[in-house]
Amino acid sequence: MKNNIFLIGTHWGDEGKGKVVDVLSAEANACIRFQGGHNAGHTLVINDKKFILHLIPSGILRDNVKSVIGNGVVVSVDALIAEIEELQTNGIFLDNKLFISQNCHLILPTHIAIDQARERKLGKKSIGTTGRGIGPCYEDKTSRKGIRILDLKNETIFLKKLEDLMEYHNFILKNYFHEDVIDIKIVADDLLTKFKLISQYIIDTDEFINDLCMKGGVVFEGAQGTMLDIDHGTFPYVTSSNTTLSGLVSGTGVNMSLVNYGLGITKAYSTRVGHGPFPSELSNDIGDRIGKIGGEIGATTGRTRRCGWLDAKVLKKSIRLNNLSGIALTKIDVLDNFNEISICVDYGEIDYESFSVEDLEFIELPGWKTSTVGITNYNDLPKNAKLYIETIEGLINTPIDIISTGPARDEIIQKINILDV
Ligand code: GDP
Ligand code: IMO
Ligand code: MG
């Protein structure tokens, strides 16, 4: 039987999770998202065509894969329909391929309005959210006011719940943020109409997911990254879900004894989009150069990503928190033309007012100054690229089992087949 595995971003998101999930999905049976929402942007490049998935698991482009949106994901019906339609336009049909948990909480227009109003009010102290209503939706889930997809099945119950919740939201929008309110009837009619377009995909997923795991070959796909975790990240500059292993358990109901391998997705350098501390950030020409070569523009919001050297201290924390078995190191090709490459290995306390960090320590390694683009065999890598990879392995005491050498599907080194080990 094939392994069931999970993938989690080890830093601040955008590590290349989508690409690695797509590659591994070639031999998988199912791909499952467990947290976050359409704040995620997972990029797949297939035959020079770019697909950006926000809500639907990155295994969806493979005919052999069942894609499941687990109960821990927050769902915008508009974003979901837009994504389904885009896939269908590209000839990817979802019948008997896409399954969505009826327990997912719905992102309402008022969640989005509150998210954006709150950011405006915070001004310079804003979090730099994606403005997709993620935080307010998870707040309503935790305070037990939220509306789940299953509520849409009963019009009377849905209308009552929506009215209660949106009246509360509109009160806050009007009286606290001094913003426009949103018409409850228009939202109700819109959601009830659009539910008809997605109802065929809605199921009760927890038993379904465990049954899939009994058959093997399941890839659980994390969104965001460990340092954006609501509990373990750089709070308050985080997202509102558990992006770490606990989110996988609560967001699917999987029996963890069925999951055999955890893969951390780590970019060969670090990036962050949005505000908050970033100890190894390079606010200089080198950072700009990395960003330019790496195309570090947000897949969801189009914002420029901040860049810095690989933060090995964060990587160690991520391995510990997520019980990772191995790492996929992505975008190594972006570092092809640097004379020296540094790794941030340690620092003191982070000051959450100024975001400054004391006692930063780096190790510096020689660059390889040769193209690694498209290399598929570890032994074909230049000597100094191997030195870089093996230095990281030594620091983290964990194997780097996969190395990504370009955005396309075939640009990858798989030292082991993690679905089979
Ligand atoms: P995710 O959110 O973790 O799925 O990552 P994103 O899709 O937001 O960002 C990763 C970006 O890097 C995308 O544009 C990918 O196409 C690209 N990418 C992924 N792996 C590689 C790689 O090994 N080399 C290069 N040059 N680009 C890559
Ligand atoms: P993927 O899955 C990078 C960041 C936002 C902001 C913070 C909170 O593509 O790696 P939110 O809208 O979630 O309340 O914003 O989290 N953020 C991401 N950064 N990659 C992501 O997803 C992100 N999803 C949210 O920029 O700093
Ligand atoms: Mg992304």
pLDDT digits (tens, 9 = 90+) for 232-252: 999 999 999 999 999 999 999
Q: Which residues contact 256 (CB under 8 A, 6 or more apart)?
A: 249
pLDDT in tens, 195-220: 999 999 999 999 999 999 999 999 99
- In the predicted model, is pLDDT for residue 300 greater than 90? no
**pLDDT tens track for 54-71:** 999 999 999 999 999 999
Q: 0.95 cut: is pTM over it?
A: yes
Protein residue with least CA distance to atom 6, ligand 2: 129
One-letter amino acid identity for 181? V
- Domain extents in the chain: 5-97+204-414, 105-201
pLDDT classification of 130: cutoffs 50, 70, 90? very high
Bridge partners of 342, per DSSP, are: 364
Q: Which amino acid is at 229?
A: D
- Give the pLDDT of residue 298: 87
Catalytic residue positions, numbered:
14, 42
Q: Which CATH class is domain 105-201?
A: mainly alpha
Q: Output the furthest CA–CA distance in the chain (Å, rounded).
A: 67
Average pLDDT, the chain: 97
Supply the CATH classification number for the domain 5-97+204-414. Answer: 3.40.440.10
**Residue of 44, 60, 330, 412 to test ligand 1 pocket, by largest number of atoms within 8 Å of CB:** 330
Q: Which ranges in 295-382 belong to alpha helices (H)? A: 312-322
According to the model, what pLDDT value does residue 44 have? 96
- What does the pLDDT average to over 98-108? 98
Does any ligand 2 atom lie closer than 6 A to the CB of residue 35?
no
Rounded to an integer, the average pLDDT of 285-309 is: 94
Mean pLDDT along residues 295-302: 89
Give the Cα separation of 26 and 62 in Å (integer).
7
pLDDT per residue as tens digits for the range 369-385: 999 999 999 999 999 99
Report pLDDT digits (tens) over 313-364.
Answer: 999 999 999 999 999 999 999 999 999 999 999 999 999 999 999 999 999 9
> Does the pLDDT of residue 284 top 90, yes or no?
yes
Q: How does residue 398 score in pLDDT terms, banded at 50, 70 and 90?
A: very high
Q: What are phi and psi of 132, to 5 degrees?
A: -100, 5
Q: Quick check: 301 pLDDT over 90?
A: no
Percentage of residues in the chain having pLDDT higher than 90: 98
Tokens of 121: 């009010």
Q: Is the CB of 135 under 6 A from ligand 2?
A: yes
Cβ(39) – ligand 2 distance below 6 Å: yes
Give the Cα separation of 350 and 317 in Å (integer).
Answer: 15
